[in-house]
Chains A and B, each alone.
Chain A
Amino acid sequence: MGAGFGEATPARRWRWGLLDLAVIAFALIPVLWIASLSFKTTATLTDGRLIPAEWTLENYQSIFDTSQFTRALVNSIGIALISTAIAVVLGMLAAYAVARLDFPGKRALIGVSLLIAMFPQVSLVSPLFDIERRLGLFDTWPGLILPYITFALPLAIYTQSAFFRQIPWDLEKAAKMDGATQAQAFRRVIAPLAAPGVVTTAILVFIFAWNDFLFAVTLTSTERSRTAPVALSFFTGDSQFEDPTGSISAAAVVITIPIIIFVLLFQRRIVSGLTSGAVKG
């Protein structure tokens, strides 16, 4: 803290550099560890080395050999993408109204989304299990997409309304003066300007849906809709003598790849999305 407002002397740079290094090690070692396990051969799995002594792709081949993991991967991608698309669109409409329009019930909407953000998801597990069983939604894609949309909506509304508030709305007025309706002004003028906020929201919602385990493990029962995190947690070895550590690690690395790509490409957006939603929400 003390080094906050001095100029960047070499000593200060070194101090911060060391702190940075500590943070990076803290953040990355667990990830590198599971990546390392995924490349180890069965024989060297227990050698305790961070860098594998013998490299192998066997673990990756084995998880892509059966439908158990590939089908789960398809489910995960499909469910996360559909949930993201719907939640972002519904959230965008509501966020526009919250940021721009004056209408009774606005506070109520904000209140409801706040309550949902704090809602204990596990409280829904038993009743949803029963309701979805009756409606035929149990163990289907929509059966997971519905709760995902619901719990992503507060995030989608907050983040997008925070972004929408920063848009120069005079442009909208100008468009309306030129004869556009409010809906047209939204579609033609504002939507392109809002795109960065929408992309950020989409990333955050996708990460949330991709991450979920609780709903995925309770509202599915077969390969039909089981998502990747659940599938890998149920991995067993090919025989009872075989340890699934290698395959689980490989599957874990595979489902981490999209997250790493998002973080590398959109670090700034994710940070601004999370912080803007927090302060302005």
Chain B
Amino acid sequence: MTVLQEGRRQLSEGKRAERRLGWLLCAPAAVVMVAVTGWPIIYSVWLSLQRYDLRFPAEREFIGLSNYAAVLSNGFWWNAFGVTMLITVVSVAVEFVLGFALALVMHRTLVGRGLVRTSALIPYGIVTVVAAFSWRYAWTPGTGYLANLVTPDGAPLTERASALGIIIVAEIWKTTPFMALLLMAGLALVPEDLLKAAAVDGAGAWQRFRSVMLPVMKPAILVALLFRTLDAFRIFDNIFVLTAGANETSSVSMLTYNNLIKGLNLGIGSTLSVLIFIAVAIIAFIFVRLFGTAAPGSAEEGRR
């Protein structure tokens, strides 16, 4: 009896110690993450309600929602928003198809698997600015093989439609391997026996893909699409190098940068910050709603 009570008290003490250690170990990471993102985003809500131009600091005052009215009634914002959405939707859609193909090659190839995987990691790892310069020179008349090949007498980076196309190509090239790796993680979960059984039962490649692979891979696909969509929405480096936002090719990130560095207008800049934050939150929400609750992290609890 006394031994049992003793044991129980030790258990609960152990439990409490475990708790304390858990909090202690997580605290530094949690504090840094919240301090560097939570505080500035709250601060930017506060700034967005003010007239605050660093060139005229004396005129700083509280103006309510006027900044939001100014941004939302401005053509630049809607143009940048449209450009960002276009780039996001097109590049993620193409990447999904290419990434799936690449994942299949990396997963199933009979020869040179290591070589293929190593090469595919190069676009993932390379500095985006470097890749963007390669594409810029490729499409600049004179220095570029692609410009000389495809449009011998045009300057594709100086026209809106072709410039947007090139930005999308650069984005797809850089991030398809990442998409492919996330999808490959899902592919590895597809039981080989099931595929074989389906093949024996006479299911064609498309049917095997639709009824065997897709259901198993759904969580991996959701993660890949969600992460890439939100990542594509913040596109900046490629546009900065390829067009610098000329000819109405600015994304919302590019617009924010120009406003901050060239305009030094913190009130408007913070308004843009808050609007982008809301847009991203809405996209993430729609994703989780559309694809069910299989959001990353939701399975975390059951696993332990």
Contacts and interface: CB of A to CB of B under 8 A. Distances in A.
Interface of A: 1-5, 8, 12-13, 16-17, 19-20, 23-24, 26-28, 30-31, 33-34, 37, 45-46, 48, 50, 90-91, 93-94, 96-99, 101-107, 109-114, 116-131, 146-147, 149-150, 153-154, 157, 165, 182-183, 207, 210-211, 213-214, 217-218, 229-230, 232-233, 245, 248-249, 252, 255-256, 259-260, 262-264, 267, 270-271, 274-276, 278-281
Given A114-B297, A233-B241, A271-B121, A252 B182 contact: no
Nearest to B118: A267
Name the prevailing secondary structure of the A interface residues: helix
A1 B104 contact: yes
B237 A146 contact: no
Nearest to B30: A109
A69 to B, nearest CB: 13
Q: Which of A109, A120, A256, A275 has the most CB of B within 10 A?
A: A120
Contacts of B39: 131
Contacts of B43: 127, 130-131
Contacts of B26: 93-94, 97-98, 105-106, 109
Contacts of B233: 120
A150 B36 contact: yes
13 contacts: A23-B120, A24-B115, A26-B173, A48-B148, A50-B145, A97-B21, A106-B22, A120-B279, A122-B234, A125-B260, A129-B260, A150-B37, A252-B134
B132 to A, nearest CB: 9
A229 B231 CA distance: 19
B29 A93 contact: yes
Interface in B30-44: 30, 32-34, 36-37, 39-41, 43-44
A275 B188 contact: yes
A106 B19 CA distance: 10
A118 B227 contact: yes
Nearest 9 pairs between A and B by C-beta? Answer: A103-B22, A126-B269, A275-B185, A127-B40, A127-B44, A150-B36, A97-B25, A46-B142, A34-B134
A267 B131 CA distance: 20
Between A1, A102, A256, the greatest number of chain B beta carbons within 10 A of the residue's beta carbon is seen for A1
B200 to A, nearest CB: 10
A96 B33 contact: no
Given A24-B116, A48-B148, 12 more contacts: A19-B105, A30-B138, A91-B29, A93-B25, A94-B26, A109-B30, A117-B227, A127-B41, A214-B237, A259-B122, A274-B178, A278-B220
B256 A233 contact: no
Contacts of A110: 297, 300
B137 A126 contact: no
Nearest to B260: A126
A259 B28 contact: no
A15 B256 CA distance: 47
A109 B29 contact: yes
Residue of A107, A211, A248 with most partner-chain B CB within 10 A: A211
A45 B143 contact: yes
B229 to A, nearest CB: 9
A163 to B, nearest CB: 14
Which of B108, B114, B134, B233 is the most central at the interface, judged by chain A CB atoms within 10 Å of its CB?
Answer: B134
Contact of B40 (A16, A124, A157, A275): A124
A126 B270 contact: yes
Interface string B93-124: 00000000010111011111011111111110
Interface in B186-233: 186, 188-189, 192, 195-196, 199, 205, 208-209, 219-220, 223-224, 226-227, 230, 233
B274 A20 contact: no
Give chain B's interface secondary structure class: helix
Contact of B182 (A13, A30, A113, A275): A275
Most buried by B among A105, A123, A183, A271: A123
B285 to A, nearest CB: 11
A229 B111 contact: no
A180 to B, nearest CB: 14
A23 B119 contact: yes
B109 A90 contact: no
Given A37-B143, A118-B284, A123-B273, A267 B188 contact: no
A218 B125 CA distance: 22
A202 to B, nearest CB: 14
Contacts of A130: 43, 47, 266
B62 interface: no
Most chain A CB neighbours (cut-off 10 Å) among B39, B138, B143, B236: B143
Nearest to B255: A122
A34 B126 CA distance: 12
Contact of A33 (B17, B104, B137): B137
A256 B143 contact: no
A13 B233 CA distance: 39
Nearest to B38: A112
Nearest to B112: A20
A125 B134 contact: no
B260 to A, nearest CB: 5
A256 B230 contact: no
B266 A129 contact: yes
B122 A260 contact: yes
Contact of A259 (B125, B230, B277): B125
Contacts of B185: 274-276, 278-279
